């Protein structure tokens, strides 16, 4: 019998791609994989590239790179395959390689909104960046409102800053030691640490120090007292899929201890996101420094790098720097926007990426990561950005291997992390909360993407 080769027509390929992308948009990885498998079996380049994206979202970055490279071997003009490889380099803080790959992808397809957004991250000229962001808005306004909203917010922020560097260190690039106080919203149990923050010379606010958050977020009442002028709307998402609307402003000065920063973005929400505190401050506010959090001593140590960061209008001060080759593999994090994710293994459970989050009072596991033998005895109340988070259950104590150390938590929880994973574009298996992090000194390095757990002394 003669073998008959069945070709897939371009129109069918377009339909298949659209169907797969729709499933990915809603975080339905199993369905996307089912749709793409026939094309993968035929070694069709578009299907291999989609397989790469599915593996990327499953946090299988080696498998994703293999799929993207296989796609390029069959079609070296496939833009999204280069884009995918660029993303893998970027989350590992190999920014030079990422820049080259993003430029290649943009050159091949300058109308793909995902590619434009990624390429814009490396545009150092403000006018070029503005043009790219406007293109994102034009291409996504009707069918991808989050992308359009993010681009519009960045455009509004850059207009507001008028070329001034965001978060400029005004008090000198030197060591700082900032005293903190315990955050105890529910009585004696410590849930985090509070930093004293003065905005535009106003009365000190006490903000929760949050490595799972970004920038500064305060309630509307505090913002009104400070006379802050809003210029853009925003949506702030939290754990468990909670979302709250807010507004954006720029503070001329932000003082934390002896450190003064200029031109800092401030998100304003109807109510404070942290019960019993004035708001939260993301650890990335201090990204110009090597950050050492000593929970036992209640101190935040900021140590300058050997090389000063870039102080210009670009949103990412470290865009021209690559991760040091001397970085220890166990401490190497994957960077997704402001998130730093570490590979971790739950003893008796599974391995996955864990968010390092000083703003989360408890340590959480995604459903399916915990072993069935751990048990789920009772549900509990937990708050997120939009209020109470449902479907949270306590489990028996766990031991986690992470960053070259073994740490334990006597009171962890299981919760649904599907929505936060969908928004970040990668499967998040757990959250290392303050319940674990307070037992060690924790060093954050946003330049090289490193998180180190010390001995707490």
Q: Domains for the chain: give ranges and CATH numbers.
A: 10-122 (1.25.40.10), 168-304 (2.40.70.10), 329-453 (2.40.70.10)
- The CB density around residue 25, as the number of other CB atoms within 10 Å, is 12
pLDDT of residue 142: 81
CA distances from 60 to 65, 66, 264, 341 (A): 9, 10, 36, 14
Q: What is the pLDDT of residue 376?
A: 58
The SS3 call for residue 157 is helix
What is the rounded average pLDDT for all residues in the chain? 89
- The answer to whether residues 167 and 264 touch, using CB atoms and an 8 Å cutoff, is yes
Residue 43 pLDDT class (50, 70, 90 cuts): very high
Q: What angle do CA 181, 184, 185 make, to 5 degrees?
A: 130
Q: Could you tell me the sign of the dihedral formed by the alpha carbons of 140, 144, 149, 154, in that order?
A: negative
For residue 455, the tally of other CB atoms under 10 A from its CB is 8
Q: What is the mean pLDDT of residues 294-301?
A: 97
Rounded to a whole number of angstroms, the CA Rg of the chain reads 22
Q: What is the mean pLDDT of residues 245-254?
A: 92
325 — pLDDT class (breaks 50, 70, 90): confident
Cα torsion 417, 445, 314, 96: sign: negative
Q: pLDDT tens-digit profile of 100-110? A: 999 999 999 99
pLDDT tens digit string along 129-184?
A: 999 999 999 999 887 668 888 899 999 999 999 889 999 999 999 999 999 999 99
Task: Name residue, tokens 């942290």.
Answer: 274
- Predicted pLDDT at 335: 97
Checking if the pLDDT of 9 tops 50, the result is no
Instruction: Give the pairing of strands 205-210 and 279-282.
Output: parallel
pLDDT > 70? residue 6: no
The pLDDT, as a whole number, for residue 387 is 52
User: How far is the C-alpha of 166 from the C-alpha of 309, rounded, in Å?
Assistant: 12
pLDDT range class, residue 445, cuts 50, 70, 90? very high
Confidence of residue 2 (pLDDT cuts 50, 70, 90): very low
With bands split at pLDDT 50, 70 and 90, how would you rate the model's confidence at 329?
A: confident
Is residue 4 over pLDDT 50? no
Lowest mean per-residue pLDDT among 36-45, 243-252, 397-406, 409-418: 243-252
- pLDDT above 90 (res 394): no
Task: Report the pLDDT value the prediction gives residue 225, as an integer from 0 to 100.
Answer: 92
Q: What is the pLDDT of residue 326?
A: 78
Q: Give the model's pLDDT for residue 78.
A: 97
pLDDT the model gives residue 42: 94
Q: Pick the range with the lowest mean pLDDT from 37-46, 307-316, 424-433, 442-451.
A: 307-316
Question: Which residue carries 């459903």 as its tokens?
Answer: 367
Residue, of 309 and 259, whose pLDDT is higher: 259
Burial of residue 388, with CB atoms counted within 10 A of its CB: 0-12 exposed, 13-18 middle, 19 or more buried: exposed
């Amino acid at each position: 019998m003669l073998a008959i080769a069945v070709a897939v027509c371009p129109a069918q390929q377009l339909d298949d791609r659209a169907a797969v992308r729709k499933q990915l948009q809603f975080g339905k990885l199993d369905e996307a994989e089912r749709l793409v498998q026939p094309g993968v079996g035929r070694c069709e380049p578009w299907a291999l590239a989609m397989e790469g994206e599915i593996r990327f979202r499953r946090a299988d970055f080696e498998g994703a790179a293999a799929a993207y490279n296989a796609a390029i071997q069959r079609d070296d003009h496939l833009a999204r395959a280069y884009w995918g490889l660029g993303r893998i380099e970027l989350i590992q803080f190999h920014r030079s390689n990422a820049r080259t790959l993003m430029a290649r992808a943009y050159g091949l397809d300058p109308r793909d909104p995902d590619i434009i957004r990624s390429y814009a991250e490396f545009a150092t000229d403000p006018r070029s960046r503005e043009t790219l962001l406007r293109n994102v808005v034009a291409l996504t306004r009707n069918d991808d409102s989050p992308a359009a909203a993010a681009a519009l917010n960045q455009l509004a922020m850059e207009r507001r800053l008028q070329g001034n560097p965001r978060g400029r260190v005004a008090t000198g690039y030197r060591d700082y030691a900032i005293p903190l106080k315990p955050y105890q919203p529910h009585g004696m149990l410590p849930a985090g640490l509070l930093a004293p923050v003065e905005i535009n010379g106003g009365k000190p606010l006490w903000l929760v120090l949050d490595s799972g958050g970004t920038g500064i977020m305060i309630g509307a009442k505090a913002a009104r007292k400070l006379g802050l002028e809003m210029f853009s709307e925003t949506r702030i998402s939290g754990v468990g899929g909670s979302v709250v609307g807010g507004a954006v402003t720029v503070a001329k000065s932000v003082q934390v201890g002896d450190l003064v920063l200029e031109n800092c973005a401030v998100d304003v929400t109807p109510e404070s996101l942290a019960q019993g505190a004035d708001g939260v401050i993301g650890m990335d506010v201090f990204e110009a420094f090597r950050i050492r959090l000593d929970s036992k001593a209640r101190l935040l140590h900021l140590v300058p790098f050997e090389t000063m960061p870039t102080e210009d209008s670009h949103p990412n001060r470290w865009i021209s720097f690559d991760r040091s080759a001397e970085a220890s593999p166990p401490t190497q994090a994957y960077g997704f926007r402001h998130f730093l994710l570490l590979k971790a293994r739950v003893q008796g459970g599974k391995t996955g990426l864990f968010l390092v989050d000083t703003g989360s009072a408890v340590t959480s596991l995604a459903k399916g990561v915990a072993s069935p033998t751990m048990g789920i005895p009772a549900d509990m109340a937990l708050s997120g950005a939009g209020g109470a988070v449902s479907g949270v259950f306590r489990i028996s104590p766990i031991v986690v291997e992470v960053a070259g150390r073994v740490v334990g938590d006597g009171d962890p929880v299981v919760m649904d992390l599907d929505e936060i994973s969908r928004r970040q574009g990668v499967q998040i298996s757990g959250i290392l909360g303050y319940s674990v992090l307070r037992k060690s000194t924790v060093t954050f390095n946003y330049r090289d993407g490193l998180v180190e757990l010390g001995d707490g002394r």
